[in-house]
Each structure stands twice: as C-alpha cells, then as structure tokens.
Structure 1
Amino acid sequence: MNAWGKLAIGVAAMVASVPAAAQTVQGTEPETIMTALREAGYRAALSKDNVGDPVIKSGAAGVDFSVLFYNCTEHKDCKTIQFYAGFVKKGRSLDTMNKWNAEHRFGRAYLDDEKDPRIEMDLDLDKGGMSSALFKANIATWESLLGDFQKAIDF
C-alpha cells in the first residue's frame, strides 16, 4: 500500500472515532450548545429558567443574550432553542419594529408589554440536531442581527 492509501485509512479512522455528539449540536444535550458557543469564542453559562427548563447565558455584539430551550419533555430532551435579547429603551415605536422585521429575514423584533424592544431567532434542533459548523454559522447570523438591531433602536 502506498503512502496515500495509508494516509486515507488513517484519516478515515480518526473521523470514525469522533463521537457523533461531538459533531452535532442538539437541544436534548445543552452541553453541545455550550461547547459550540465556546468554540466560536462566546461565553456560555448553563442554568435553568423559572419553569425549570435549561437556559444558557451568553453575549455578542456587546449585548447579553440568552439561549432559551423549548418543546422540552420534563425540562429536558428539548427540541428547539431560541436566541433572545431584550433592551430597556423606552420610546421605540411599532413602526421601527415593523421596518426592522421587513428588512431582516432571520430575526424577529417586537415591543414587550412595557414597550421595550426585544429580538429573537429560533432554531429547530429536532430529529438529530445540526452540525457544529451550521450552528456556528447561525451564531454569526445572530450576532449580525444583534448589531443591526442595536443600530435600529439607538437614537
């Protein structure tokens, strides 16, 4: 066997030895989300929300945000997550939120009950999750949305 053949077998063996969970980000395993966040250069701290579901606290674009877990069975085995950030900035209008939503495909902005602006982005991790690379691409999208949203609500 030539050197190229041996190299190919060695690479195949290394790839096969990497556990599937290490390659996949899953809502059923919050640690995989924390790992992907940290590998992408973000901080990540796992805790529980007020109903007992997992929540990860992080930050990007100078803004603290949360990764909320949804569609959970008994506070685990969650199927979807949501990136969420809230701002205390009175005086923002529905017109500002509607304009932002019309110009941004992947995020969703609104005013809460106290008229403070909020932004969210959902990810479906059901049926096996997603690759770490795709998750990191979604994190980059989220960070970009956060920056654009801050510009839209700052005046």
Structure 2
Amino acid sequence: MRAFLAVLAVLGLALAQGVVKGLTPAEVERVLKQANLAYEKTEAQEFRLEMAGLTKVWLFLDYCQEERCGVLTLSAGFTLDEVPDLEAINAWNRDRRFSRAFLGEDGTVWVESDLDLTGGVSLGAVAAFLDLFAEEILPDFMDHIGFEP
C-alpha cells in the first residue's frame, strides 16, 4: 500500500510541474518566443503581437497579484470605412464560443478572447490559446467583418 501511495505522490508531482496558475511577464515572453511570435513589450503587463497578417494584436495580463497574472487577454481592433451593425456583432457573439466582439466608442470593431489560468493550465494550453486566436479566431473574424490585412 505504501509503495502504491508513493507512486501516486511521484506521479502527482510530475503532472503538477506542467501546470501553471498564473504567469509573469517574463514567462509570457518565453511562451511567445517558443511560439515563434513576433512581439514587443509595450508596458509592464502588455505586449503587441504580430498574428494573422496583423501587426497590432494586443496581449494583456490581468488579474495580477504582484508579478503573477491569472488571466491572459488577446484582442485586436479594426477600423473600417463601413462599421458593421450591431446585428453582425451580435451574430458573432451568438455563433462563436471562444471569443467576443464589440464596437468601441470610436467605431473600432474589436474581437477578444480570454484564458483563465487561475484553476491551473499547462503551458501547452497557453500555446494552444495563442494558436487558436491566430489561426482561427482572427481569420474568421476578419472575414466576418470584411477586413483584409
């Protein structure tokens, strides 16, 4: 029985090493480098990324306690000659699960997505979050609003 418990304890420690419940800005930079994303740190908890042919995609770290932050938010804003109506924005929000769209006060059309780290996620899940936004959400949203980079 003790051997079984020891194996469970070691297995638990091995699995726990791959899980994070928050990231520091330096850890986010390492993840961005591993994902081969071009980026610039613009503020202490903010990065400008290049994704999906865009040069201004924002990554914000939120819900921070000291240096460790529990929420990552990706967002991109689009200025269009013809602003989509609220019906088009609502259709995006109704039909999509992992992002939300809204109109800014200045008429900019935004799409955002959050990743909550506080319950614990793997660094692979963080990389998958970045990939989902770059490879699916942004291209689909640009098509939805008629934007070409």
Relative to the length of structure 1, the TM-score reads 0.73
- In 2, the alpha carbon distance for the partners of 1:79 and 1:137 equals 17
Selected match of 1:104 from 83, 96, 106: 96
Q: Which runs of 5+ in 2 are unaligned?
A: 1-13
Q: Matched residue of 1:92: which SS? A: coil
Kindly tell me: are residues 43 and 27 of structure 1, through their superposed partners in 2, closer, same or farther at Cα, counting changes over 3 Å? farther
DSSP-derived class of the 2:65 partner = coil
Q: Which amino acid aligns with 1:62?
A: G
- The separation in 1 between residues aligned to 2:75 and 2:38, in whole angstroms, is 15
C-alpha contact (below 8 Å) 1:80/1:123 kept by paired residues: yes
Shift of 1:46: 2.0
Q: Which amino acid aligns with 1:130?
A: V
Is 1:37 paired with 2:29? no
- How does the TM-score come out when normalised to structure 2? 0.75
Q: How far apart are the structure 2 equivalents of 1:80 and 1:112?
A: 22
Residue among 140, 143, 146 paired with 2:138: 146
The residue identity in structure 2 corresponding to 1:84 is: S
SS of 1:41 mapped into structure 2: coil
Q: Structure 2 matches for 1:87-98, cutoff 5 A?
A: 87-89=78-80, 90-98=82-90
Which consecutive unaligned segments of at least 5 residues does structure 1 have? Answer: 1-15
For residue 26 of structure 2, what is the amino acid of its counterpart? E
Percent of residue pairs identical? 28
Q: Distance in 2 between matches of 1:24 and 1:87?
A: 34
> Pairwise CA RMSD of aligned residues?
2.1
Alignment length (residue pairs): 129
Q: Which AA in structure 2 matches 1:32?
A: E
Q: Does residue 66 of the first structure (1) align with residue 58 of the second (2)? A: yes
One-letter code of the match for 1:92?
Answer: P
